Chains A and B, each alone.
Chain A
Amino acid sequence: MINEELQAYLAGKFSNAEVKPGKQYLEILVQAADLHETAVQLKGVPELSFDYLICLTGVDYPESMQIVYHLESVKHRHMVVLKVNTADRVDPKVDTVSDVWQTAKYHEREVYDLLGVKFNHHTDLRRLFLDDDYGFPLRKDFKDEVRIVER
């Protein structure tokens, strides 16, 4: 499907979500509660079949954490960017999608490690790179007086 068709299709399918054309790719912003169901649909519906999760990451915005999923369909070769904002910035929680796309398991561990986002129902949510008592370095309010020199 080309982008306009895909946008109309997605807007019809996910009525609670906000579908808009981004600068490069189509973007869907979903409610945190609908995330898992949306992910299942995005992968499962044959017209969409977003089966390849390219990139999963988090961004620390002033009012909430945003988790960003770049998705591609191997069959149809269309792309979409799925986004979800967490309700709380300090103790953010979203549902895991690692049962939908297996690779998300480790990408989510990375996001948990660097941003402190907890993924509900994740089977193995441990830190990936850093020590257990290290803070969450990609947060904007992270302070490390020893290792980071403010210029």
Chain B
Amino acid sequence: MSETKEIIITSDKIHTDEYLVNMGPQHPSTHGVLRLLVRLEGEMVHNIQPHVGYIHSGIEKMCEAISYPQVIHLTDRMDYLSAHMNNEAVALCIENALQVEVPERVKYIRTIMDELSRLASHQLWWCVMGMDLGALTTFFYGLRDREHILDIFEETCGARMTLNYSVPGGVMFDIHPNFQKRVKEFIKEFRKKLPEYDQLLTGNVIFQERTNDIGYLSLEDAIAWGVTGPSGRGSGFSCDVRKHQPYSAYPLVQFEEKLATKGDTFTRYRLRMEEMYESLHIIEQLIDNIPEGDYAVKMKGVVKLPEGEFYQRVETARGEFGVYIVSDGKKNPYRVKFRSPGFSNLFALNKMAAGHKIADLVAIMSTLDLVIPDIDR
């Protein structure tokens, strides 16, 4: 037997250098092809540089070659979880430019679909957030309930994710006769399920430890970095477009813009959970009162916008989405710019996560709720 020698390690002999780690592009918690260049010392994150563009598809350039109604079809390939809100933004922008007044029925249908999309998106966010932190059960719970909404979408417009439901002047088809019944069934059921979500994850000690007091974003930083949506509202940034520049049926409904001031990861998590209750509340006010009437106004075969610039803001599940159209009076746009919420939100990540451990980076990124095609476009 060989003799073993005892090795004494003193703390001044342990030394770590700063080193760079590529997180992604194929990393499960980046939720797509996003690469984070993380500067680490041991476990501590010193700096994060996001590298984007892996799925840049040149949507803005493509838009310059196609007609206005066709532009809508590209928008739900960006933020595929807020597809309906993106469609609606372009439709509203075109309607405002042409000064078309859509029927009341369309406003109600669009708003209900908006809120259903927001619920579906938040459900997916919740189940993936749990999974990122190692709780696989949430994934099944979230997807199970999301399925009901996707079924309603499928019955309404034939698609489950890339809806293409809003068109200039209205919606593509009238709602299915079952629509109201199924939505009401879903609300009744989901109101029972939501407390289960809290029981499963919110009160969990491990989850609390990993999210409380982690990833602070101050109000000043949230505004300066343009962090919108629930992520910005968690820092007290009142940025809900539904309140400040209401569109569709939002002026007709009562709802609260949920705001918090703490600005840590758990606050952002809570805020999204609260938003789900608000969404249910909005749908409940509208679903029984959908007015009779046309589901679209007749538009000209070729949509031509007057010369000028048009900007439309809507609130998607991730924050403020904007469409900026420059028209020269032809049948295709001169320039289209999509202001995507994910783009601005992502680059505040360094501000939030620097100084934390690398495992916390995953939790912080989860509460930003990134969708990569939304960033890359």
Contact = CB atoms under 8 A, between A and B. Distances in A.
A70 interface: yes
Interface stretch (B111-119, B163-171, B309-317, B356-364): B309-317
Nearest to B334: A59
Interface stretch (B19-27, B70-78, B222-230, B251-259): B222-230
A53 interface: yes
Interface of B is mostly: mixed
Contact of A57 (B96, B226, B337): B337
B244 A23 contact: no
A8 interface: no
Interface residues of B, number: 35
A95 interface: no
B299 interface: no
B347 interface: yes
Interface of A: 22-25, 51-55, 57, 59-60, 68, 70, 74, 77, 81, 101-103, 105-107, 110, 114, 128-130, 137-138, 151
Interface of B: 52-53, 56, 58, 60-61, 65, 96, 221, 223-226, 237-239, 244, 308-311, 313, 320, 322, 324, 326, 334-335, 337, 339, 343-344, 347-348, 376
20 contacts: A22-B308, A24-B311, A52-B223, A53-B226, A55-B311, A55-B324, A55-B339, A57-B339, A59-B326, A60-B335, A101-B224, A102-B225, A103-B224, A103-B344, A103-B347, A105-B347, A107-B344, A129-B56, A138-B60, A138-B61
Given A24-B310, A55-B322, A70-B311, 14 more contacts: A23-B310, A52-B226, A55-B337, A68-B324, A70-B324, A74-B237, A74-B239, A102-B224, A102-B225, A103-B224, A106-B343, A106-B344, A107-B343, A138-B335
